[in-house]
Structure 1
């Protein structure tokens, strides 16, 4: 099956899931609630979306700079603009198919900066691992500092369902899964040794070596403080976007930075599970705001305002980057008169 057709099928499937989630989330909304939602949209102060968008652009720029820091120990220093353009095209691709963007941005930078794609994949994995650790740390911090508000919610919605699933899995099932994983690993190792000189095996080994080098680049960095600073700036921008967003609606303008942290963390889960968070980000944000006594209609409107602003920014910058990449690199490599 052609790659383009596969990606199209994936897009249709994931987009369909997003639409289904939106329908499930909105099907029980009453006529009175719809009136409240429309009123909230009408009275929102959309001028405050502008500084939130500026912070969004800054967060993407800091991500590009941080990615460059991971490449430096590998002997590569791409231009910041090319790195930024690659990041934005990657985000655009993620709107269509989850995780497609990671491969896309590595391919673009490899094309325009001649950086080995396998090493770029390694740095991308390292970067995502750092973001996951940050998300988990912030999640723990959010729960600890707001135990009275979030403790029961997290226990009921996350830990209890997880405990029930683990309890339903008996010892025999867990042993079978472990044996299955072990067999797959041993089989792969045997195949690599058996066909060690084949082109496929050589390609896999080369890719694995490049990925490992990319991951280990964190430890080889001389500018670890710079990497940490860029990471902090990324998350500060994310948090500031949500907090400024609170002032778009009168009913959420009193919420604290702690509430913004909760919205950021729980909303980030929604951005992960569906393309661009469609159908998942909005209900998660709305349910989070309910914990702070924000009415359903207001939480619904706020979730959509923030999501639409973020999504339109990614779409605009993504397509702009696609157009700008060949133009910037053509002028960049033109011989000087």
Structure 2
């Protein structure tokens, strides 16, 4: 049997003499015919500052229709204040702000209710998706609206297209958790603050197409130009609030390094750079850097992200082979977020963030995410080892190159041995741990299943290996562009050699983002090809810091989007924890009562 729900429409009304009665009559006609398994009420939130008789009309409607009630406000005027008062007074299961000027169509309400029944917490009425429409919207106002909505979508990583439409259905629990008294908006900027607060809280959202038409009586209360700064202020305030909450939850899970260790690693990297400056000569390096060609810097900024496109493709192939799906956008964002964190702190914490982010956004088990990342690392080290081995055998037969190839292969073999141990010996760990470490046992079993599926798919492994080649071609190409930026045209062999050395140095996470070690590796290798140490150091600096700039820009955007997309996961986790604690308290209480009865 379908659960019976009570729907409350909250209608702020100020100087709506020509619209209020028609709006109520039309809404009553439609909802009375369609409300077969739900009930409804219309709350008219009327300002006593109205000068056109709106208050008297509201009183008549209240007396005439049993489904209509009214709330008269005597102070704190403004659409936002009226809406907050109305939401705090109603007791329905579903709360829907509704405009008094007939711009919203009550015929769209039933589909909103159905989406709430399907499990969503917030249902946006969208005028800008297929099936939605606008009629009589002033072009300038429409341009403001679309630009502002797209700004919000970009900042918060929201997929819905009409977030600021007041015509939105909220589950009762959403409004209760938000607590309307904590909202700061007093005017129409509440149409941004309220849904964004729901997003930050992690509630499930969707959208349905709705029709909107301009009022045909009265004067619009919204001046887009005048209210624009209020909207911007509200969005950035919620942006800061959401990031603080999300980053706290996300990074608390993925890093447990003490500040002393993190600071020490950063200091060590800086000291390496200072040492290189001293050895190569400050003036020589700065003279070289002053002649940098910005066009080649732009080239690095274009080529470097291409490597992440291929990394995304490769990771999704491995995930799909393990029978787990991840969206292209989320996989890319998770990779960029991981690189971003790795560039800030050592110990490869970014890989943990990458796996955990995929879990919180696409539901892929953390152990599977980490397992596929390790497989990627094996491919990376093997490809790098093969590249430098070819150089050592056919082009530059030196011990340094052989050692570098050996280091690449060694790291790859160590990672491969780790995977094989989990694959072949993991079941013994599971048997020994039993129920005592159920979480560990489940993770090992999940990884084993994923590895078994991947190993049984040679085409996926072959494709992943093949995709590792363009990944590293794009990575190495940035060093070539960095050299051209300082006026040096490196050949293929020195470029590949310097690239492999730099990337292998980063595989050992001594400093955040390879700070210092990256430049040292490039300088040391290029010296073997008769490039002056000061020039080699300048090439390393240009390449590394341009790459870091790309990572910080794209990574920051990616982390922010992941923060907001992961809010439902953390919200559900908190709810599960609260339910578990409540259940435990109930059991304890029942146990105490039984002891009293038998005592």
TM-score range, shorter chain: 0.7 to 0.9
Report what 2:434 is aligned to.
196
1:159-203 superposed Cα distances (whole Å, 9 cap, x missing partner): 8xxxxxxxxxxxxxxxxxxxxxxxxxxxx99986565222x2x22
CA distance in 1, matches of 2:404, 2:366: 40
For 2:456, which of 213, 220, 245 is the aligned residue? 220
Supply the distance in 2 between the matched residues of 1:61 and 1:81 (Cα, whole angstroms).
10
Once residues 515 and 564 of structure 2 are traced to their aligned partners in structure 1, the CA distance between those partners, rounded to angstroms, is 32
For 2:290, what is the secondary structure of its paired residue? helix
Residue of structure 2 aligned with 1:65, choices 313, 338, 343:
313
Task: Give the drift of 1:280.
Answer: 0.7
The answer as to whether partners of 1:93 and 1:100 remain within 8 angstroms in 2 is yes
Q: 2:357, 2:562 within 8 Å by CA — same for their partners in 1? A: no
SS in 2 for 1:6: coil
The residue that corresponds to 1:176 in the other structure is none
User: How far apart in 2 are the matches of 1:126 and 1:5?
Assistant: 24
For 1:82 and 1:206, the matched residues in 2 are separated by: 25
Structure 2 CA distance for aligned equivalents of residues 191 and 284 of structure 1: 40
**Aligned Cα RMSD in Å?**
2.7
The residue number in structure 2 matching 1:295 is 532
Q: How much does 1:82 deviate?
A: 0.3
Q: 1:38 to 1:195 in 2, by over 3 A?
A: closer
**Aligned counterpart, 2:273:** 22
Q: Check 1:216–1:143 CA distance in 2 against 1; reply closer, same or farther (3 A cut).
A: farther
Partner of 1:37: 285
Distance between the aligned counterparts of 2:564 and 2:256, measured in 1? 29
Structure 1 position 158, deviation (Å): 9.5
Matches within 5 A, 1:86-97: 86-95=334-343, 96-97=345-346
Which residue of structure 2 lines up, in the alignment, with residue 117 of structure 1?
Answer: 366
Distance 1:126 1:213, change over 3 A: farther
Pick from 303, 325, 328 the counterpart of residue 80 of structure 1. Answer: 328
Native 8 Å contact 2:318 2:461 kept in 1:
no
The aligned counterpart of 1:209 is 445
Aligned-pair CA distance for 1:155: 6.3
Flag the 1:323–1:197 CA change in 2: closer, same or farther, 3 A: closer
CA displacement at 1:157 relative to structure 2? 8.8
The structure where strand makes up a greater share of residues is: 2
Q: Secondary structure at the match of 2:485?
A: coil
How far, CA to CA, are the matches of 1:238 and 1:12 in structure 2? 28
| Greater relative contact order structure (CA < 8 Å, 6+ sep) | 1
CA contact (8 A) 2:479 2:539 kept: no
Confirm or deny: 8 A CA contact 1:122 1:213 kept in the other structure.
Answer: no
- In the TM superposition, 1:162-201 aligns within 5 A as 195-198=433-436, 200=437
| 1:231/1:157 CA distance change after superposition, 3 Å | closer
* Match in the other structure for 1:259: 494
**Given the alignment of the two structures, is residue 146 of structure 1 paired with residue 381 of structure 2, yes or no?**
no
- The structure-2 alpha-carbon separation of the partners of 1:218 and 1:51, relative to structure 1 and needing over 3 Å to count, comes to farther
Q: Is the 8 A contact 1:118 1:207 kept in 2?
A: yes
Aligned CA distance change for structure 1 residues 51 and 155 (closer, same or farther; 3 Å)? closer
Question: How far apart are the structure 2 equivalents of 1:18 and 1:67?
Answer: 30
Match of 2:555 in 1: 318
Q: Please list every run of 5 or more consecutive structure 2 residues that lacks an aligned counterpart in the other structure.
A: 1-251, 407-425, 568-599
Contact residue 122 and residue 210 of structure 1 kept, 8 A: no
Deviation, 1:234, is: 0.5
Deviation at 1:27, TM superposition (A): 3.5
Number of aligned residue pairs: give it. Answer: 292
| More helix by percentage | 1
Q: 1:294 is paired with a residue of what secondary structure?
A: coil
Number of the residue aligned with 1:13: 264
Deviations 1:102-146 (A, max 9, x none): 111010010010111121121111111111211221221121122
CA distance in structure 2 between the aligned counterparts of 1:192 and 1:229, rounded to whole angstroms: 34
Q: Is the 8 A contact 1:271 1:281 kept in 2?
A: yes
Question: For residue 101 of structure 1, what is the aligned residue in structure 2?
Answer: 350
Query: Match of 2:300?
Result: 52
Instruction: Please give the per-residue CA displacement for 1:205-233, whole angstroms capped at 9, x wherever unaligned.
Output: 22222223333443233445542342221
CA separation of 1:34 and 1:6: change in aligned 2, threshold 3 A: closer
CA contact (8 A) 1:56 1:241 kept: yes
- Bigger shift: 218-227 or 89-98? 218-227
Looking at structure 2, the residues matched to 249 and 26 of structure 1 have their Cα atoms a distance apart, in angstroms, of 17
Q: Which deviates the most, 217-226 or 274-283?
A: 217-226
Partners of 2:482 and 2:559 lie apart in 1 by 29
Evaluate the alpha carbon distance shift between residue 113 and residue 66 of structure 1 in structure 2; reply closer, same or farther with a 3 A threshold.
Answer: same
Contact 1:122 1:211 (C-alpha < 8 Å) held by counterparts: yes
Task: Give TM-score scaled by structure 2 length.
Answer: 0.45
1:270 equivalent to 2:519? Answer: no
